[in-house]
Every structure is written in C-alpha cells, then in structure tokens.
Structure 1
Amino acid sequence: MIPSRSLALLAARSSSARALRSWPAAHVATRRTDYGLTRWRAGQRIWETTTATPLSEGGDEGKKQDLSPSEEQESGRFDVKSNESILFFDNLFPLKLTPLLSRQTETDQQLTDLLKRFNSSSLGIMDPIQLVKRAIPDNLPIKVTEILPRLKDGGAFVKFEYDASLNATEIEAKLLKKLREEPIKPWFNPFSRIRARLVRGVPWLEDLHRYPSPLLMVEFVPPEPGAAPEELPEEVLYSLFRRYGKIADIIPQPADSKITPRYAQIGFPVLRDTIMARNCLHGFILGEAQGGGKNGTKLRLSYVKREKGHSIWNWITTHPRIVIPIVAALIAGVSVMIFDPIRMFFIKVHVQHSLRYTDWRIYKWFKSQTGSFYFHKKEEHIEGLGTIWKHRKDLIEQLQSWLDGSSDTFIVVTGPRGSGKAEMVMSQTLSGRKNVVLIDCKPITEANGEAGTIKRLAAAVGYRPVFSWANSISSMIDLAVQGTTGVKSGFSETLESQLNKILHTTATALKNVALSERHKTDKDATISEDAYLEAHPEQRPIIVVDNFLHKNEDSSIVYDMIAEWAATVVQNNIAHVVFLTSDSAYSKSLTKAMPDRVFRTLSLGDLDADVAKNFVVTRLEEDLKREAQEQEEQGEENKKVPPRPSLAGLDDGIKVLGGRLTDLEFLARRLKAGQTPHEAVEEIVTEDATDIAKMYLLGRTADADRRWSIEQAWHLIKALSENPTLRYHQVLLSPTFASSLSSNATNGEAAIESLAGAELITVKTHRGRPQTIEAGKPLHQAAFGVLVKDRVLRAKMDLAVLTEMAKVEAKNIDTVEKELQLLGGLPRHTGESAGRVMYLLSKLDAGQRKIAQFEKEMGGLKKILNEEY
C-alpha cells in the first residue's frame, strides 16, 4: 500500500523540479532476479524501481500494469508497448566490477546491495539512480516505468512512457542536448560524463560470462526464418555506428569465406562506445530503404574477445626451438650472476683457511694454557718421522726453493706408494705456508657416477653450493624436449663441461687470492696483475695434486682435465702445482698438457737399511714414552713401566721388508704388540703373499678391464723368486707374453705396464727405454718366495701355464697342417716348394714334441694336485 504522503506528492506535479523528485511509485511484490536482471522499485527506495503503476489525475490509485515478468525472464527481452521506448544510460557503474561477475555466487542483486552499502545516505549524490534522475530534463514529458542495471556493461536500461503525439527521436535529442549543456560525471570517473542513447533494437538481457570488448561482431540475419538477409556495406555500417563514438576500423568478412551468417567486425578505440553501440543496436532491423534488402536485415551484435594478452605466450609455445635455448641461456646467466660470487667466496675461504679455528689467536691461547684442550679430534700421523726428514732434508730444501722461485712448469714428486710423498710435501715442505689447497684424485676417480665425481671435486677445492643432483633432472628434461621438438634444450651439461666450470671458477678465485696481498702503497703498485704475479712467486697459492694417475685408466677424463687446468694456472703465474704420483708413466699425461716444458722432478725411493732401522727404533721409543706419560698422569699407584720389546733380529727383518715407509710402520706396530722381529716379519710376508695370490693368481678381485692374464702374473712371480732382476725383453719374448691366448692380454708390453701400474713389479729404465723388471717392493720379493714354495699353488699355476702353452703349440700345428694341405693340393711338386714342405714338417715335429713334453709335465702336476692339500 502506497503511503498517503507519497500519493500527495505524486498528484501535485505542478513544477518540473517537484515532478523529478516525485517519480511514480510502484506497488508490486518483490520480483526474482533471473537472467541477471534486477528490478528497482521506487515504492521503497530509489534503488528498488520496477514497473510503475500510473496514477489518475484525481490522485486515485490506478490499475497495475502487468508486464508479464515471467515472459521477460524466460526470453531475456523487454516487453515494450507502442507508447514505450528504452534509453541506455552509460557510465553509471565502474567496469572494474567485471571480475566479480565471473563468480557464480555473485549476481547483479548482490552487487547492487554492495553498492547500496557503499553509497550511504550521506553520499546520495553518488547514487547511480540519482544520476539518472538528474540527467532527464524537467520539461521532458516522459514517465519512467522500469530501470534495469547492467553492471558488467557499466550502465542501465531505462524504459519510459511518452505521449503518442511525441516522437522518441525528439526525446533522445532533448536528452542529448541537456547532457551536453549540463554534463554529469560519476564519482568513480570524474573525467568522463554520463551518456544516454535511444535503444533502436531489441536488447538481449543475458548474464553470460561474455564481457565487453573494443571489437564488435555484427552478424546479418533474417528478421524472419526463411528470408534472405543482405550483407551491409561498410558505408551503411559506418552511418549506423558512428553516432555512438569514433570508429577505429571496419573489417568485412572475406569474400571467399564460407562462414554463415555473413558478418563484419567493427572496432572502437573506446570500450564504452562499443558498449553503447551493442546495447542500442542489437536486434535492429534495417528496411529496404536503409539498405537492408527486400526482406530486411536484422543486426545481431556480440563482443569479440581479442587475444592480445596471450599473443606473447602463444608465440613462446609455438617456437620451442628458439625459446628453449634462450631460456636455458637466461637460467645459466642468472645462475652465474648469483652463485658464482658465492662459490668464489667459499673457494677463497677454503684456500686461505679463513674459517679454520685452529689458526685463531684465542684457540692458540687456550691451547697454550692447557695441553689437553682440543676442540676437534686429533689427527692421526706417523710417529718417528724426524729421522726420515733428516735423511730427506736435501729433497725438502730443493722443493722449497722451487716453490719460492719463479717456476713456469710442473713440480712432480714420484715414488712408490707408501714412500711418504704426501707427508713430506704437506707436513714438511709446506708446513706453516699459507694458501695451500690439496686435491686428492683417488676419491674423485673412485666416485660412483657423474654426480659423485662432481661433488667430490667441488669439495676438494671448496666449490659450493654445488647442485650435482640437478644434472640428472636436466638430462631428463633435455631428453623429453629433444623427443618432442627434435632439438636439445641445452639444460643438461656433460661431465666434462661441469668439471671445467668448477676448475675455471677455482682458477679465478686463486688469482684473487694471489693478488689479495697487493696494496696501493707497494713500490710496484702501478704494474699489471700478470706482471705482479710473475714478479712475486711467493704470493702464488700452491696446488698439491695427490694420487695422480692412481688408477692409470686411459678412459678417465679427470686426470686429463686436472693436468690441462694445472698447466693453465702455471703458465699464467696464478699458482704453483705439485703432482704426487706413483705411476712411472706420468710423463705421458703431463706432456700432453704442457708439451713445451721440462718438468722438475723429485724421486723418493726406499729408505736405506740404517735409516729404516732408526725409524723403527725411534717409533717404538716415542710410543713407549707416550704410554709412560699417560700412565703417569693417571696416578702414581697405577704407574707401570711398559715392557720394552725385543729387537733381536731386527736387521735381518729390515733386509726382508726393505725401506718402504708403510711396511716399516706396520713392523713397528707389531713389535709394540709384543712380537719378535722374526715373528712380525714372517707374519707380514705371509699376509702379503696371501694378498698377491687373491689379487693376481686366483682371480677373485680381478678387474674386467685388466690387460694381463693370470699366467703372465705367475710367470713373473716364479721368475723373480729365482732371480730378483729380469731382463725386460727376455720376459717379453717368453711364450706366456708373446703368445697369450687371453683376449685382454695379447699385447705383452701392455701387460707388463699394467702389472707395473698395479705395483706387482717395477720396471727400471735406462736412457728412456725399459731395461729390467724387479719386484714392486722388497716385501713382494719375499712373498714371491713364499708363493713358489706352496707346492699345490705352484702345481696349479704351472698346470695353467702348460695348458696355455700346449694350446699355443696346437694352434701352431693346426696352422702348419693347413698350409701342408694347401701345398699337397698343388698339381705338381717342384724343387722350390720342397724346402717349404721340409720346414713345415720340421716345425710340425718340434711342436708335437713340445706338446708331448707338456703333457708329461702336466701329468706330474696333476698327481700333486690329486695327492696333496
């Protein structure tokens, strides 16, 4: 029921201003929101206007006009009568509400309520409906009956009644004149005014997720089914749409296009011009006079979504062969910019030992206050080395002089394993020296897989962080990309490239370390960095490469890369490099890296008998002294004098063991445990013989890639047990080495070189050529004698050698027989062939005699194997 006060206001429309403030009230029930339409009713608030009920002149309540709401809701179109028209007001709502409309839970009604809460009563001037009321002139004889907001279009449809004597075009002209003279600007867009246009077509009131776009699709459809529409030319389209705003372009449908219905595209520079044109001309029918053809043409408008936002992404996805390498390069560049400075910092810290607390003053002070104060586990070291260092004082001083002088070549310290190369270099020559880095090749080459190799090399030089695991993932990505595009992405790197990257970064950090002591106040501060490094060899860091060619594998690239990298830092005066190796063939790898230099070499051999005996005695005395001191610290009542081991027969034991440092230390430990020198040496020799039998004779730990056979190893063991020195070429010409049937031991020289690398034997050279063969170390010489005295082992190995030699002779006889058969097939025998036949027959007879002799010896050996354990 409408209040009496409202009826009085509506009846007393004496002035236009008063009439504007008292719009027709509605007395209808609240309508549902369907198709995204919200009906505003003026009976309660100006936001809630719906179909109006006209009042009689006398103020009585008139009849309610039923506009078939169900029909409108189902069709999505207005029910417009003959005396009604529709205006579209633009710029009433911000278009930024469009993302909120994409949510299914949001409707126009909910958003309208949101705007009502935002626009409180104190902000009534910002009310969109108040803006519509202000836009309509007071002298315009129309009556608003319905207002439908279009939030995603930023405007609203206003349906109004007018007198039959008026024309809707005149009403539109007066409204446009009012808006030009008195522009109204919304609160959310103060730089743009509200616009209004007469709706000429039939607007489609949809709530689909189709949002405004600057490009319109204009489809030409028949007004009635079965009729043929007319395709409008650009001139007609321009005259229709130009009134709604400046047109950027009109794109007609290609003539050869088979798409129906025919269409054209119209682009507007301003989005709100597109919205106005679409809402005013959708469903407009052009007659024959306007160019619409005999049956007329209906315009069906829709927004065309432009793919501008995805054009870059589409180009990227369609050009993987170009994009993927660029992305890989960018990732590599970013990683270099971010991680390389961090890695160089850690390498410098590792070389300079900046974080090693044992060098801190406070640690040294605490240690001086209490001798038993340790923050870390005490490192194990060999006692009694003072005697050895005195014996090798000349070598230590020579090495120090080379490191202090200007050297542009490698320093190589050679010697058998266990000769104390690393101890002499690290603990004596470089004791107290700054900027020393040790690279142990043994753990690097023995690592499992490429990731382990990278990780261990990085740890040796202090290179961190290192993402060794990422290479596997990168390889999988590279493989997948190559399978789809046919081009490698470049994400994965080879082992060689990654090792080269680590070594290159290390070289740069070492150069910075060498230049870290340079100051502006120096006399030669003006010279270049290279000249400074060449003039100050004492400032260069020292790189010690231990266990170089430890495995002596030709296929390993680690040794070659380290050698080439070392050659680079030496030639550029960045650092001194000292190689520690037990391989006598080290010159092959190093000459390849530095072919124009002569290496400076120091060779460490076995100790003399007197020095070896002094070492063992000194080691025992230091151990006894340390134990006595520990017992003394425990208390007088627990003090016991440790028994002194017997040294009778020590000279004979040292003659057997030789001067190898590790063997002498082993002897000292056994003497300390209470054994006599004779018992200790006998046990050491027996253990060494057992190890040799397992590694070289029984094949239990044989390497699949070895280049020697068990028969060749036994031949050398047996020959050296009888004679400690063998002629190199005499061994090479023996049947076991010259005619071996093993597939991996056909080359006799390679077999000898491989056995020397395994330290079973030692090859002595004379003027660069191999001359003699000896046991790998004196302990092996004694172990060879123990192995030969084992009758069962000797019978087994001799049987294997004789079996192979018998097979060799049988193979030679087979070759002779084939040639005799060939000669016997000749049509006639001549004197020239008689000599060849006699030679072959004598060779056949000699071979058969050898086989008979071998079988006789094999019978005796088999008897031993059958009777003895």
Structure 2
Amino acid sequence: TFVVVSGHKGSGKSALVKSAIKDKKHTLYIDCEKIANARNQSEMTKSLAKQVGYFPIFTWVSSMSGLMDTLLAATTGQKANLSTSPDSKMKDVLETVAIALRETIPSEKEARLTTEEEQKTMLEKLRNLVLNYGHEKREVKEKENEKSDEDKLDHTSIPVVVIDNFMYRETSKNSLLWDELSEWAALLIENSIAHVVFVSSNASVVKTLGKALHGRTFSSITLSDAPPEMAMSFIRKQLGEDVDDPHFPEIISAIGGRLTELEVLVQKMKMHMDAQAAFEDIITRNLIEIRKYGFGDSSNDNNKIEWTPIQFWTIVKLLAEKKSINYDELKWDNIFKGDDTPLREMERAELITVTHKDGRPNSIKPGKPIHYTVFRRLLSDTVFAASLEIESNMNLKKQSEESIAKLEDTIEKLSNINQPSRPPREIEARIRYLLTKVDSLQKSIEENDIAIKKAKEIVSEGWTDDEN
C-alpha cells in the first residue's frame, strides 16, 4: 500500500499517522525535517542512518578514502576510486534497511504459525476426528487455511514505513534526499516489502512521487481546517474557561480552524491580551507576510517570487469578494494567458489552496482562512490598492497595444492582395473581422487609461506627509 497524507502545516497530519500505527508491531518512522536541516550531505546521511538504526557510519573512512584517491591521482595520474560519494552511501543505507524489512516478514510468519499451533487444544483435534471430515474436504480446508494465512500475513506482518515531513525544504542540497527516498519507497512497494506512508505539507508532493512510481496509483488523504465548533472547543480547552466576549465567535470564524493561528491566539490571550487585540495582532502579522511573500516586498534576493504582483493582486481582489475562484476561468484570464505555473508556485508558497475535483484542479481558495480578512484589509488600503491597479491596467494596456500592432500589420498585408483592383471577398471578410478586433482592443485601451487616471488621483489624494 502507498498512501500520501497531505495538508497545510498544523493540520495534524503527523499526529493522525502516529495514532494509526501505534499498535503496529513493525514500524519505521523517518523524520525528514531533522535530516534536511543537516549542514551537508555527510551530515544528512549520518542523520538518516541514526533514525533507521544503521550502524556504524564511518565518516572518517570516506575522508581517508578521498585523501588516498587524491594522493594516488597526484602520483600515478590515475584515480583508484576508493572513495564513496555521500549519495552512494545514502543509497547503501536505504538498501540495507530494505533488506532488513524484507527479512522481518518470514520470521514474523514463522513465529505466528508456531503460536497458532501451540494454541490448538486436544479438544479441537478430537472434534475434527468426531466430525469425520472427508479427505477432499480436508484438502480444501488446508488450502483455505493457507490462503487465510497469507491474508493474515498481508495485514498483520508487513512493516509500515512512515516518511514524515517529506519535501520539507526544496533546495539543491535536499533534492538528492527527496529523490533517494521516493525511489526507495517505490522499491519497497513494487517488491511488496512494506506499506509506505508519506506525510507532507508540500503541495507538489503528489507530482514528485508520481514520477518515482512510474504511473502506479496510490491513495491520497488531504486534511483540511477544523470546523468552527471544534476551534471553539480547542480554545476553551487551552484557556480552561469560556471567553466572555460577544465578538469572540466572529473572531474564531475569521481565523478558521487553522491550528497554528489558534495556538498564537491562545498564547496572546494567556498573556492577558484581550481577544480583539490578539486578533488584530495576528492580522497585522499576516499582512506583513503577504506583502513580503505575495508581492515580493522584500530586500532579500532569495525571496524572488515566481509570479508577478499583478497576478497575485488579481487573486486577492477576487477572494476578497467571494469564497473561491474558478481555476480554469482564472487560468485563461488575460493576466495568466493559460499558464498555470504561477498558480502552482503560489500554492507551493501557501498563499493559495487549490482544491481538486475528479483528479484535476477545480477551485482556488486562500492559503489560510484568515487570508480572507487579510485580503479585504489590502483592498481597504486605498493607496496600496490604487498603486496595484495602475500597474495592472498599464500591463493590460501594453498587451492590447501589442495585439493591435500585430493586427494592423496583418490588415496591411491583406489589403495589398489585389484581384485585380481590390482584394477577394474572402479577404475583405477577414479584414472586416480583424477591424472589429482592433475596435474592441482600442476600447479596452481607453478603459485602461481612465482606470489609470482615477487610480493616480487616489494615490495623490491618499498621500499624507509623515511629519503631519
């Protein structure tokens, strides 16, 4: 069995899986966060080895082998290939673990059969003789028992491997780890060695694992936010008392069932901050994060975004007014032009959530429930909103002008087709059609100019001097 448990951070994925496997006899739990935080490949291999019980790891042997390789190459001019790379060592560790997992199955079966044989009483043996089963019936019964044994083995004896925090960080250093683990998981599944459960907060985990499994189907479980009543119950349990605030249900509704935000609210209220002030503080923190990561308002070059600010602004405006957006409709909007790469990158950055239906993207929602409130706050910042409206309309105007230029070029070429003194009727029909498109685009440009002018007026009127 191959299962992917996904969901946003704080959705309880790890706790759910741990609860499901707590009574299993043979389990292996790998926490990728600890491995991915290692400084280099050698440290990553040591961390992995420690978690799976692989011993010993002689890192000094690899260093000595590398030194000997260098010395021999310097003296003889040829490499001895004595050293092993960190990725090959990681592969060795995982292959050894696969062999060990495989060996647990026959030993488990033997132990189970021995226990069942000892549990058979003399009374059961006498009963079989008294009932006088025929020879053929006994053969059928034996075959059924053998089949039953295999079924029991499948359910009770196959080990369970849990790979938690998979794709915790997508960096060049960690890419090897994700590739090795996914290929190793495919090996375990294809050879019926173990059940494998991947736990991840990364939106692209299914796509990455799909490559390693070569089209093999797998089960996917996605955890969502808790409903409002459960969120209220969590707050009461954490605070140890009811909150005497008539607006508190509205605050919980705005925050939603996201555990990370609820925990922040609890912490602030335990510090004797009232619910409304704590809520406003959470809103402000999320506003700063959205400006930094959603619109690229950061001086750090590492925070380079894979979408344009106006693309994200389009989503912000839509989600400030409604609960979800039609995925395909937005994809074919003039801002995205059929390219959903920016949408996938926004989902990976947890700015939006893409819900699927019948195996394909269906709708877009905010990355967190509280983002509904944050998006509305962004729209209420008139100067900020007007600035982005200027940028959006200038972009659309530029697209229209480029399209008109291409149409005018085509019309000119078609107009030069003479037979003998004027173009054929079919060409004239084509020219008339193109002229209607030019007229439509020209009207769009005029609308863009009006919108830009209004937005600039808002920017000018909304500005105040800091000294005042």
Does the TM-score normalized on the shorter chain lie above 0.5?
A: yes
Q: Secondary structure at the match of 2:29?
A: strand
Alpha carbons of 1:573 and 1:834: their partners in 2 closer, same or farther (altered >3 Å)?
A: closer
**Percent of aligned positions with the same letter in both sequences?**
30
Q: What is the CA distance between 1:518 and its match in structure 2?
A: 7.5
Partner Cα distance (1:821, 1:484) in 2: 74
Q: Secondary structure at the match of 2:273?
A: coil
Q: Secondary structure at the match of 1:830?
A: coil
Uncovered stretches (5+) of structure 2, i.e. residues with no partner: 118-148
Match of 2:261, as an amino acid? D
Match of 1:650, as an amino acid? F
Q: Secondary structure at the match of 1:556?
A: helix
Partner Cα distance (1:835, 1:455) in 2: 73
Q: What is the CA distance between 1:653 and its match in structure 2?
A: 1.4
Check the 8 A contact 1:724/1:774 in 2, yes or no. Answer: yes
Q: What is the CA distance between 1:654 and its match in structure 2?
A: 1.3
Partner Cα distance (2:422, 2:450) in 1: 38
Check the 8 A contact 2:35/2:48 in 1, yes or no. Answer: yes
Q: Indicate the residue corresponding to 1:670 in structure 2.
A: 268
Q: Indicate the residue corresponding to 2:444 in structure 1.
A: 850
Partner Cα distance (2:438, 2:383) in 1: 33
Cα deviations across residues 397-439 of structure 1 (Å, max 9, x unaligned)? xxxxxxxxxxxx113323222111112322x334476654332
Match of 2:13, as an amino acid? K
Q: Indicate the residue corresponding to 2:430 in structure 1.
A: 836
Partner Cα distance (2:89, 2:37) in 1: 18
Q: In the alignment, does 2:310 pair up with 1:711?
A: yes
* Pick aligned residue for 1:544 from 153, 158, 162: 162
Match of 2:237, as an amino acid? T
Q: Indicate the residue corresponding to 1:28 in structure 2.
A: none
Q: In the alignment, does 2:358 pair up with 1:767?
A: yes
Q: In the alignment, does 2:3 pair up with 1:411?
A: yes
Partner Cα distance (1:819, 1:468) in 2: 68
Alpha carbons of 1:829 and 1:456: their partners in 2 closer, same or farther (altered >3 Å)?
A: farther
Match of 2:4, as an amino acid? V
Q: Indicate the residue corresponding to 1:250 in structure 2.
A: none
Check the 8 A contact 2:416/2:423 in 1, yes or no. Answer: no
Check the 8 A contact 2:2/2:196 in 1, yes or no. Answer: yes
Partner Cα distance (1:669, 1:704) in 2: 29
Match of 1:575, as an amino acid? A
Check the 8 A contact 1:695/1:702 in 2, yes or no. Answer: no
Partner Cα distance (1:681, 1:839) in 2: 56
Match of 1:504, as an amino acid? E
Check the 8 A contact 2:30/2:52 in 1, yes or no. Answer: yes
Q: Indicate the residue corresponding to 1:556 in structure 2.
A: 175
Q: Indicate the residue corresponding to 1:800 in structure 2.
A: 391
Q: Indicate the residue corresponding to 2:194 in structure 1.
A: 575
Q: What is the CA distance between 1:571 and its match in structure 2?
A: 4.5
Correspondence 1:77-116 to 2 at 5 A: none
Q: What is the CA distance between 1:485 and its match in structure 2?
A: 7.9
Partner Cα distance (2:285, 2:72) in 1: 56
Match of 2:458, as an amino acid? I
Q: Indicate the residue corresponding to 1:360 in structure 2.
A: none
Q: Secondary structure at the match of 1:748?
A: coil
Q: Indicate the residue corresponding to 2:283 in structure 1.
A: 685
* Pick aligned residue for 2:294 from 696, 702, 712: 696
Partner Cα distance (1:500, 1:677) in 2: 52
Q: Indicate the residue corresponding to 1:236 in structure 2.
A: none
Match of 1:683, as an amino acid? D
Alpha carbons of 1:658 and 1:469: their partners in 2 closer, same or farther (altered >3 Å)?
A: farther
Partner Cα distance (1:702, 1:720) in 2: 28
Check the 8 A contact 1:762/1:775 in 2, yes or no. Answer: yes
Q: What is the CA distance between 1:476 and its match in structure 2?
A: 8.2
Aligned residue pairs total 427
Q: What is the CA distance between 1:477 and its match in structure 2?
A: 7.3
Q: In the alignment, does 2:93 pair up with 1:502?
A: yes
Partner Cα distance (1:810, 1:774) in 2: 33
Q: What is the CA distance between 1:690 and its match in structure 2?
A: 1.6
Q: In the alignment, does 2:17 pair up with 1:425?
A: yes
Correspondence 1:426-825 to 2 at 5 A: 426=18, 428-431=19-22, 436-445=27-36, 447=38, 449-466=40-57, 489-493=80-84, 496-511=87-102, 523=114, 535=153, 537-551=155-169, 556-583=175-202, 585-594=204-213, 598-621=217-240, 646-700=244-298, 707-738=306-337, 748-823=339-414
Partner Cα distance (2:223, 2:391) in 1: 38
Q: Indicate the residue corresponding to 1:62 in structure 2.
A: none
Check the 8 A contact 2:296/2:303 in 1, yes or no. Answer: no
Q: Which has the larger radius of gyration?
A: 1
* Pick aligned residue for 1:862 from 441, 456, 461: 456
Partner Cα distance (1:470, 1:509) in 2: 24
Q: Secondary structure at the match of 2:335?
A: helix
TM-score by length of 2: 0.77
Q: What is the CA distance between 1:825 and its match in structure 2?
A: 5.6
Q: What is the CA distance between 1:483 and its match in structure 2?
A: 9.3
Partner Cα distance (2:67, 2:452) in 1: 58
**Which one is further off, 815-824 or 792-801?**
815-824
Q: Indicate the residue corresponding to 1:158 in structure 2.
A: none
Alpha carbons of 1:795 and 1:445: their partners in 2 closer, same or farther (altered >3 Å)?
A: farther
Correspondence 1:244-259 to 2 at 5 A: none
Cα deviations across residues 174-228 of structure 1 (Å, max 9, x unaligned)? xxxxxxxxxxxxxxxxxxxxxxxxxxxxxxxxxxxxxxxxxxxxxxxxxxxxxxx
Q: Secondary structure at the match of 2:278?
A: helix
Check the 8 A contact 2:13/2:199 in 1, yes or no. Answer: yes
Partner Cα distance (1:838, 1:737) in 2: 29
Q: What is the CA distance between 1:605 and its match in structure 2?
A: 2.0
Q: Indicate the residue corresponding to 1:188 in structure 2.
A: none
Q: Secondary structure at the match of 2:365?
A: strand
Match of 2:277, as an amino acid? E
State the structure with bigger RCO (CA 8 A, min sep 6), 1 or 2.
2
Check the 8 A contact 2:296/2:305 in 1, yes or no. Answer: no
Partner Cα distance (1:838, 1:472) in 2: 76
Q: Secondary structure at the match of 2:454?
A: helix
Alpha carbons of 1:842 and 1:478: their partners in 2 closer, same or farther (altered >3 Å)?
A: farther
Cα deviations across residues 46-71 of structure 1 (Å, max 9, x unaligned)? xxxxxxxxxxxxxxxxxxxxxxxxxx
Alpha carbons of 1:844 and 1:532: their partners in 2 closer, same or farther (altered >3 Å)?
A: closer
Q: What is the CA distance between 1:593 and its match in structure 2?
A: 3.8
Q: Indicate the residue corresponding to 1:218 in structure 2.
A: none
Q: What is the CA distance between 1:731 and its match in structure 2?
A: 0.6
Alpha carbons of 1:684 and 1:816: their partners in 2 closer, same or farther (altered >3 Å)?
A: same
Q: Secondary structure at the match of 2:182?
A: helix
Alpha carbons of 1:506 and 1:733: their partners in 2 closer, same or farther (altered >3 Å)?
A: same
TM-score by length of 1: 0.44
Cα deviations across residues 10-62 of structure 1 (Å, max 9, x unaligned)? xxxxxxxxxxxxxxxxxxxxxxxxxxxxxxxxxxxxxxxxxxxxxxxxxxxxx
Partner Cα distance (1:443, 1:845) in 2: 61
Match of 1:769, as an amino acid? R
Q: What is the CA distance between 1:473 and its match in structure 2?
A: 7.9
Partner Cα distance (1:492, 1:706) in 2: 40
Partner Cα distance (1:855, 1:473) in 2: 70
Check the 8 A contact 1:763/1:771 in 2, yes or no. Answer: yes
Q: What is the CA distance between 1:823 and its match in structure 2?
A: 4.1
Alpha carbons of 1:704 and 1:690: their partners in 2 closer, same or farther (altered >3 Å)?
A: closer
Q: What is the CA distance between 1:785 and its match in structure 2?
A: 1.1
Root mean square deviation, CA, Å:
3.8
Alpha carbons of 1:498 and 1:865: their partners in 2 closer, same or farther (altered >3 Å)?
A: farther
Q: What is the CA distance between 1:691 and its match in structure 2?
A: 0.8
- Would you tell me which structure has more helix in proportion to its own residues? 2
Partner Cα distance (2:161, 2:112) in 1: 29
Partner Cα distance (1:476, 1:802) in 2: 62
